[in-house]
Amino acid sequence: MALPLMAKATAVWLVDNTTLAFTQIAEFCGLHELEVNGIADGEVAVGVKGFDPITNTQLTTEEIKRCEADPKAKLTLMHNPAAEGELKRKGPRYTPLSKRQDRPSAIAWLVKFHPELTDGQISKLVGTTKPTIVAIRDRTHWNIGNVNPVDPVALGMCKQIELDTAVAKAVKKMGGDEVMSDDERMKLVSTEQSLHMPDEPRVPASMSGLENFTLSATEDDEPKLDADSLFKTPVADADEDEDEDK
């Protein structure tokens, strides 16, 4: 399936100007559904100007209205010879100059949270070299003191769907029958799988039984006070004694 020109900018335009579902936009633009959700929340593609697919002969108004009426319908891209070859990238990934300084942070995040990924997979995801990855792993990088792990998807160095695909391949190579700890198992779960996982059990917010027990115990220990003893003052006691003497 061919992708539209400037897929992320097209997704920005569709989010701002249509009522299409995130799933429809993600599938049409070749993005992950969470990326489209991030665009709507203003956390992804910040500063990216929307690219109108109607004026650029990639979609028609009728096609958008058809899919808005049916959330399960899929957008059909108009044939555009210039868009051919957008799906599969050949050669090494190009990283803009403005983002190359973020490579060590992205590598550190992948090494920390996805140790199952090979150096070759990390190299393809963030467009780096294996010696740089080894230096980050061994903490021998020249700027290791200033390197903080940052999600490469948040940095815009790879797509969420590409990261999930690489993690799934790495897990498959490791073998599904291998015994893993709970922490390792959580690291190997993709974003798409985690959305369908049941909620973890939580500790109850209130312990009514214990509260009642504490209150009853406190009430038994405290001395009982009546109104006369509570409001009786030493001055009043002295006056009563004088009256009795008279």
Q: Give the residue extent of every domain in the chain.
A: 7-83, 97-194
Tell me if the pTM is above 0.85. no
Cα–Cα nearest to 2, from 25, 28, 21: 28
Residue 163: Cβ-neighbour burial (10 angstroms; 0-12, 13-18, 19+) = buried
Residue 218 has what pLDDT? 47
Query: How many whole angstroms from its chain centre is CA 206?
Result: 29
Residue 242 has what pLDDT? 57
* 3-state SS class at 119: helix
Residue 180 has what pLDDT? 45
| CA atoms within a 13 Å half-sphere pointing along the CA-CB vector of 110 | 36
Residue 224 has what pLDDT? 60
Cα–Cα nearest to 120, from 133, 102, 101, 108: 133
pLDDT digits (tens, 9 = 90+) for 34-75: 989 999 888 888 888 899 999 888 899 999 999 999 989 999
**The dihedral of CA 189, 195, 201, 202: what is its sign?**
positive
Residue 201 has what pLDDT? 54
Residue 64 vs residues 103, 125, 148, 216, 238: alpha-carbon distances, Å: 38, 32, 42, 66, 93
* Regions in the chain scoring below 70 on pLDDT: 1, 79-99, 176-246
Give dist(CA 50, CA 168) in Å, integer: 32
Residue 228 vs residues 222, 225, 231, 240, 241: alpha-carbon distances, Å: 17, 8, 6, 14, 17
Whether the CB-CB separation of 133 and 91 falls below 8 Å is answered with: no
* 3-state SS class at 89: coil
